Every structure is written in C-alpha cells, then in structure tokens.
Amino acid sequence: MSYLLGVVLFALAILISVSLHEAGHMLTAKAFGMKVTRYFVGFGPTLWSFRRGETEYGIKGIPLGGFCKIVGMTPQDDDVEPGDEKRAMWRYPVWKRTIVMSAGSITHFALALVALWIIAVSVGLPNPKFPTTEAGYRAEPAVIAPVPCVTVDKVRACQPGDPASPAEKAQLKEGDRITAVNGKPVSTWGDMLDVVRATPPGAVTVTYLRDGTSQDARVDLAAVQRPPLGDPEGATSPVSALGVVLSPTTPTRVEYGPVAAFGATADFTGNMAVQTAQAMQRIPQKVPALWDAITGGERDVDTPISVVGASRLGGEAVENNAWLVFFMLFVSLNFFIGVFNLLPLLPLDGGHIAIAWFERARSWLYARIGRSDPGRVDYLKLMPFTYAVILIGGAFTLLTVTADVINPITLFSR
C-alpha cells in the first residue's frame, strides 16, 4: 500500500509541477497584456471548468500535463479575433516573449531551488567535501568498508554466483585504514585505488590500522573489468579489485542555517547543472542499452527513465521511508525538465525563444546592411522539422516507458 501511495504522490507532484509550468506562461503573458483564452490541467474531455474574465480555467480527464492558450503565438496562428490584433503574442517585443516562453522552465527551476533550500535547512545537502565519485575520493583517507562481493564485468548489485569480496574473505572490517599494499604505502583512498588496480590479481599483503594497531592481511585480489577512474562511460580494461568501498568517516550530509542554505543551494544547483548537461549528452548512446533492457538484458541504472519510471522510484522511496530520496527525485526531475524545455527545438519553448531572437538578430543585420526587414519566420515551413522532433521524442518516450514497465530501475530491494 505504501508503494502505491508513493507512486501516486510522485505522479501528483509531477502533475502539479507541469500545471505550475503552464501557470508561469499564463501569468507572465497576462502581466504583459497578452490574451490568454484557456488554462487547463490535463488533456482530453473537459471534466469541469469555469470562466473568469476572458480566460476559461478547468480540469480535463487525462491527467498527463496541462496547457494554456496564448492568442497569436505565431504570425500564422488564426486564433486572433477582430480587435485583438495588438494583443497577439508575436507582436510583442522579443524580450517580453522570451520571458513568457521561459517562464515555464523558470517555474521548474524555482520549484527545485525551493525544495533544495528546504532540504538544506532540514536534513542537509550532500557534503561538498565528501567524495561522490571515484575520482573525487583522492583526498580521503583509505578507511574501508568491505562489500559482500565483487562483480566481474561491471559495477552493479550483487547477484548469485558473484565471487565474494577479497577483503571480506580476509576478514578486513569496516573502519580499517589501509596504509600499504604489497609494501607500497598509501595515504588516501585515491592512492589505494591506484595501487590496487595496478597490482596483478592474486595474493598480496595489505597493511592496515585497526584501533591504532598496524596489522597485515593476506588478500587475494580479484580480476575485474572496470572503466578508468573518473570516467564511468570509458572503455573497460582488466584491473584488480579489493572489494571495498570508502567507509563514511566523513559526514555525508551537512545541514545549513537559513542564510547559509542559499549559498549551499546555489553550489549544489551548479553541480546539478553540469551533471544534467552530461546526462543529456549521453542520451543517444544509452538508446541501445534501453533496447537491450527491453529485450531481456540487464537494466543499466544509468539509462534514462520516463515519468512512469520516476513514479515507480518515488513509490520505492515511500515504501522504504526514504523521503529524502523522494524529494531529491522531485528536484532532479524538475531541473531536468526545466533544462530540456529550453533546448532550441520546436515545439519546445526553447525553439520559440530561439526563433524570436533569430528574427531580432536578422532584422538588426538587415538594417545595418541597408536591406529591408525580411519579417517574421514562417512557422509553416518549419513544420517538417517540428514533426521530426515530435516523432523522435515520441519514440524515445515510448522506449523509456516500455523499459520502465518491463525492466524497471530499482533503488531498493523489495
């Protein structure tokens, strides 16, 4: 029951976010004097509506988004009534149209930032001094925690048949600090990774500190395939593995006061922006992995997910009382939608913004070279490109939804 509740709650959170996205368009358009005729939550048949002024507000039967209708978004639109010509959106200055079209993404960013600020002052954000990738571990002491197994081909959850952790077999314990491997001294986690990976598989002597006492253990390093440190998408190569992770001796989260939380939120958002850009760049190369997951292969946790997959993860988070995971999923999804919607492609808002500024730049250039203004872009001529984007986006959405139904990503064992 708690799982289903989490799925519903996360789906509702997404619906509210999208509805606020459209409200951002509507409110900014109204503020500039543009005519907004409809604002609805959902699609399909109308369940309930009312009219206030010149705008109809309501709820439709399919809760998969929302929309608002701004009159005259393009010069080719035929929805401008006599007397409303001056209020057509395309007639407004480019900066006003940019604000209106970007208001949806700004709303998503605002939701993410507010949620992050609340998280920062309540339970804390990830400690910036605590490493989150192997490359970032280099300054941390090599204080280890053995894992149950090593996976030979890739980093994933343990499965039946995976060899036991060499460190666990050698009776190393959480909190042991590695100081040398085969006589080669190591002082940080990064040093330890470098030395272990460069050491041939098989028996080695691991020197460690336990309760202040130096001890030696005979460990049989496992042979595994791993990508380069700091490049999880790189080509794998044979290396040795000890079967440990970094012990959380440094607090993983830091709580902030109300004022300091603003700076911490900004820093975290900057890192999230970089990670989002990198994730979007990897989308094309993840398509084969999605298809492999649909046709019976293992689901890569780094593959894209749909709203269905995100809602399922939200359900898992609630089921396991991991509300922080739930809200961080909400933050990540809003940030991703905000960035994605600004891509300069029709029919996305970013496509309309790009065309508006292209028109402005072209008019400025023609005026400088003494030629007449070529006027507005003909959206009808761009329809083939728009349909291509819709087709590709629809196919990708269908692919991710299918993968999330047939072979979903899971964060917790159920």
Instruction: DSSP letter for 76, please.
Output: T
Q: At what angle do helices 94-122 and 2-31 cross, to 10 degrees?
A: 140
| Contact call for residues 56 and 49 (beta carbons, < 8 A) | yes
Which amino acid is present at 19?
S
Best CA proximity match to 266, nearest among 46, 114, 43: 114
Let me know if 319 is a catalytic residue: no
| Contact call for residues 233 and 256 (beta carbons, < 8 A) | no
* Cα 365 → chain centroid: 38
Best CA proximity match to 115, nearest among 268, 241, 280: 268
In angstroms, the first-to-last Cα distance of the chain is: 13
Any bridge partners for residue 60, and if so which? 46
Q: DSSP string of 142-161?
A: -BEEE-SB--SSSS----TT
Strands 177-181 and 244-246: unpaired
Rounded Cα distance between 102 and 343, Å, is 11
CA pseudo-torsion sign 241, 244, 249, 250: positive
Active site positions, annotated: 22
